[in-house]
């Protein structure tokens, strides 16, 4: 049995949507804007991706009950 992550299913879907939107917005903004403000979208996408990966890692860990058996 696997443990649940720290994100709910709804939060997980929103995190994926936020990641995809930020990842899409960054190169688009880089082409349209002269300054380096598009780097903020890259940083946001990386932070959200880190949260999703941490949630995946926690979901893949076996529960304490499964370890005891």
Rounded distance between C-alpha atoms, residue 62 and residue 69, angstroms: 11
- To the nearest 5 percent, what fractions of the chain are helix, strand and coil? 75, 5, 25
Looking at the domain assignment, is residue 44 inside a domain?
A: yes
pTM score: 0.79
Task: Give the model confidence (pLDDT) of 1-40 as tens digits.
Answer: 556 889 999 999 999 999 999 999 999 988 998 888 889 9
Print the domain residue range for 45: 9-68
Residue appearing with tokens 């002269």: 34
Looking at the domain assignment, is residue 50 inside a domain?
A: yes
Provide the number of structural domains found in the chain: 1
Looking at the domain assignment, is residue 42 inside a domain?
A: yes
How far from 10 is each of 7, 16, 20, CA to CA, in Å?
8, 10, 15
């Amino acid at each position: 049995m696997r443990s649940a992550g720290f994100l709910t299913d709804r939060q997980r879907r929103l995190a994926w949507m936020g990641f995809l939107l930020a990842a899409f917005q960054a190169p688009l903004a880089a082409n349209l804007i002269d300054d380096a403000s598009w780097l903020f979208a890259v940083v946001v996408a990386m932070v959200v991706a880190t949260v999703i990966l941490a949630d995946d890692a926690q979901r893949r860990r076996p529960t304490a009950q499964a370890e005891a058996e």
